[in-house]
Amino acid sequence: MQKIIECVPNFSEGRDLNIIRQITDVIESVEGIKLLNVDPGKGTNRTVVTFVGNENEVVEAAFRAIKKAGDLIDMRKHSGAHPRFGATDVCPFIPIANATMEDCIACAKKLGERVGKELNQPVYLYEYAASAPHRKNLASVRAGEYEGIAQKITLPDWKPDFGPAQFNEQTGNIAIGARDFLVAYNVNLNTTSTRRANSVAFDVREQGRKTKNEKGEEVHQPGACKAVKGIGWFIPEYGVAQVSMNLTNINITPVHIAFDECVKSAYNRGMRVTGSELIGLMPLKAILDAGKYFLEKQQRSTGVSEDELIKIAVKSMGLDELVPFEPRKRIIEYMLDDAGFSPLISMNLRRFADETASESPAPGGGSIAAYMGALGISLGTMVANLSSHKKGWDARWKEFSNYAERGQKIKDDLLKLVDEDTRAFNKIMEAFSLPKTSDAEKAARKQAIQEATKNAIEVPFRVMELSLQSFDIIKAMAEIGNPNSVSDAGVGALCARSAVYGAWLNVKINASGYEDKKYVEEKLKTGTAILEKTIALEKEVLGIVESKIK
C-alpha cells in the first residue's frame, strides 16, 4: 500500500494572505499532494500548513514551499508572538500510514541537503533526524531566535547540518526534522497578562520552572504534564492571553488532560479558562477520547456516536470559542477520507432504498445484510444507553456504558461493510471485464477473478462474525436492560439473525466460484457453525423477551 507521510511546515508570515496563497499554490502544484489545512495567525505572524503525500511528493512540495517562502518573506522585517528563526521556521515529517519514522528521517535528510545546496539556507536537523543529542529539541535549536543567529551560527556546536555556516539575513535558518504526531493546542484565559499565562504554562509543561529552595538554591520544579511544551502569550486579534502548548506525545498526555491541568492551574491562580484553540489538525482518536473523558466525568454513557463524542469534546473544551470548529476540516482522518469512499451509508434512508430497488445489481443482498446487522446492534446499544441513564440505576451506569461502547464499535464496523460488500461485487465485475485475447491476459484475468472472488467471500463472512458478536450485547440487554425497552432488544435479535443468514447466502454463492477447495471447505464449516449458534441465540433472546412482555 502507498505510504502516506505528513509534512507540517511553519512559515513566518500570518498576515499577508497573498504571500500565504503563493506558498500553498506551489505545494499544490506537486502531483499527488493533498493540502489538508492552512492555519494563519495574525498575532503570531505565522502560518501552519499541513499536507500529505508519499516520500518523493512531500519532499518536492516542501522544497518548492521553502524556496517560495525564502523569496517572499524577509526576516529582517518580521515580528510576532511565536519563537522563530527563519522564513520557513520548521519543517517536520510525520509518518501517517504505511510509513515508518525511518522513512521520515530519510525525507528530512534529503530535503535538508537540497535546501542547503540549492537555496543556500542553513539547515538544522531536529527530533528523530537530529545529528547530535543537543540538536534533538527544537527549542534548543531555535534558542536565540533570528536575532541571535549571527553569533550562534559561528559556534562549533551549532554549525549547520547542511548549507553555509553564515548568517542569511533574509531567510534566517530552518529546522527540518522527523517526529511523532504533534498536536499544537492553545488554551484561552480570562486575562490579558502574558506573565499570568506563563505562570499557568510553567505549571503544566513538562519542563516546569526554575525556583529556589529554602536555602536559596536554584532548583528545577517539573510541571504536571509529560511530553508537553508550553509558553504564555497575548494575542491582540482575540484580546486574550493563551497558554500555547505542543503536545508531543498524546498517548502520554492527551489533549483533554492538558486542558484540565490548565483549568486547575488557572483556578488556583485566580483565573478561569474560557475555551481553547486547535492549531492545524488532530487525530480522530484524540477528540473521541476527550469526548469519552468528559462524559465519564458526568457519569454518562460513552457508548454514543462519533458525532456526539466530538460535540461533547468541542463544547467541554470550548474549541469553538474563537472560531467555529469544523470536524471535517480539523480531524486528519476525515481530511484524508475520500468523500466518495462510502457512498451508500452517506445516503438518506429513502435514497438508499431507492438505489437498492433500482435495476442496478448493487447494492444487493450482501450490503443489505450488513445494514440489517448494523440496525440490530444499534437497537441493543440503544437499550444499553437507556439503561445507563435510567433513574435509580445510577450505580450501574458504567456497566451499561461499556455495553454501549462495544455496540458502537460493532455498528461502525458493520456500516463500513455496507459499502465494502458493493465494492467487492464491483471488483468481480471489473475482473470479468479484463481482456482475454492472449494466454498472458487470460492468466492475469483468471487470477484477478479469483482474488476478487475471495474478497467477495471474506466481506460477508465478516458480517456474519460481527453480527454474531452483537448477540452478546443484545442478549444481555434483554436480560438486564431497561424492561420498558425489552421489545427493542427482541427486534435487534431478529435483525442480527437475518444479517447472519443473509451474509451466509452471499458467502455460499461466491464460494461456488472459488477454486481453492480447502479454503472453501473451512469457510463453509465455520460459517455453518456461526449460523447454527446465531439461530440458537435468537431463540434464547426471543424467549426472554416474550417472558418479560407476558
Strands (E), 54-148: 88-97, 123-127
Q: Residue 288: pLDDT above 50?
A: yes
Grid cell at residue 330: 480539523
What is the rounded CA–CA span in Å between residue 16 and residue 396?
Answer: 56
pTM, 2 dp? 0.79
Grid cell at residue 419: 459499502
320 counts as catalytic: no
**Strand 46-53 to strand 4-7: parallel, antiparallel, or no bridges (unpaired)?**
antiparallel
**Strand 123-127 to strand 174-178: parallel, antiparallel, or no bridges (unpaired)?**
parallel
Which amino acid is it at 49? V
Average pLDDT over residues 16-29: 96
What is the rounded CA–CA span in Å between residue 302 and residue 296?
Answer: 7
pLDDT band for position 218 (cuts 50, 70, 90): confident
Grid cell at residue 385: 444507553
pLDDT band for position 339 (cuts 50, 70, 90): very low
What pLDDT is attached to residue 310? 97
421 counts as catalytic: yes
Grid cell at residue 192: 490579558
Average pLDDT over residues 10-19: 96
Catalytic residue among 39, 161, 421, 488: 421
> Tens digits of per-residue pLDDT, 351-398?
999 999 999 888 999 999 999 999 999 999 999 999 999 999 989 999
What is the set of domains in the chain, with CATH numbers? 4-178 (3.30.990.10), 183-336 (3.30.70.670), 349-549 (1.20.120.680)
Please, what is the average pLDDT of the chain? 94
Percent pLDDT > 90 in the chain is 88
What pLDDT is attached to residue 227? 94
Sheet with 273-279, side-by-side order of all strands? 228-235, 240-247, 183-189, 273-279
Catalytic residue among 39, 82, 256, 488: 82
pLDDT band for position 281 (cuts 50, 70, 90): confident
Question: 69-88 in b/e burial notation, b at 16+ Cβ within 10 A?
Answer: bbebbebeebebbbbbbbbb
Q: Residue 308: pLDDT above 70?
A: yes
Average pLDDT over residues 344-357: 91
Percent pLDDT > 70 in the chain is 99
